[in-house]
Amino acid sequence: MEYENFGQLMEEMRDIHKLLQKLTSQKCHHLTMEQVKLIFLIAQNQMNQKEIAQRLRITEATLSVRIKRLVDMGLIERKMNEDDKRYYQIILSSKGKAVIGEMKNDFHHVHDVVCKDLTEEDYQAVLKVIKKIKRNLKEEMQ
């Protein structure tokens, strides 16, 4: 593969990421893609911070910052675990519950925009290539 093509591939991947972040923010209450994923995860499961961090494959410190921002926005709350006072369960606030349905519709819209004119075969081919690139990078990093 030529370096020129490789540079173009990296630029396109970066641009897709930026555009996806921007569209998600515009459509989903000015939240980042990571914040949206976190809210959806919290809405589906009652977990403590350690479990959420493991599920999202991020550090607890990174998660703590994300949670603080969403608490400050009034979308989620920390609730002390009755069984173990060292842990807090992360739950949707009443405001979070009020907007979750709308956010799901907005996120479906983002999905529809991204997948517009893509056949299932196109989608699977792109996913396969991205996974190969990710695997190659991970193998090199080990």
Provide the residue ranges of all domains of the chain, joining segments of one domain with +. Answer: 3-141
Name the pLDDT band for 40 (thresholds 50, 70, 90).
very high
pLDDT digits (tens, 9 = 90+) for 18-36: 999 999 999 988 999 899 9
Q: How far apart are CA 62 and CA 65, in angstroms?
A: 5
| For the chain, percent of residues with pLDDT exceeding 90 | 70
Q: How far apart are CA 81 and CA 75, in angstroms?
A: 19
Q: What is the pLDDT of residue 17?
A: 93
Beta-bridged to residue 47, according to DSSP, are 90
Instruction: Look at domain 3-141 and name its CATH class.
Output: mainly alpha
Name the pLDDT band for 1 (thresholds 50, 70, 90).
low
pLDDT averaged over the chain? Answer: 91
Closest C-alpha to 36, from 80, 76, 8: 76
Query: Can you give the length of the chain in residues?
Result: 142
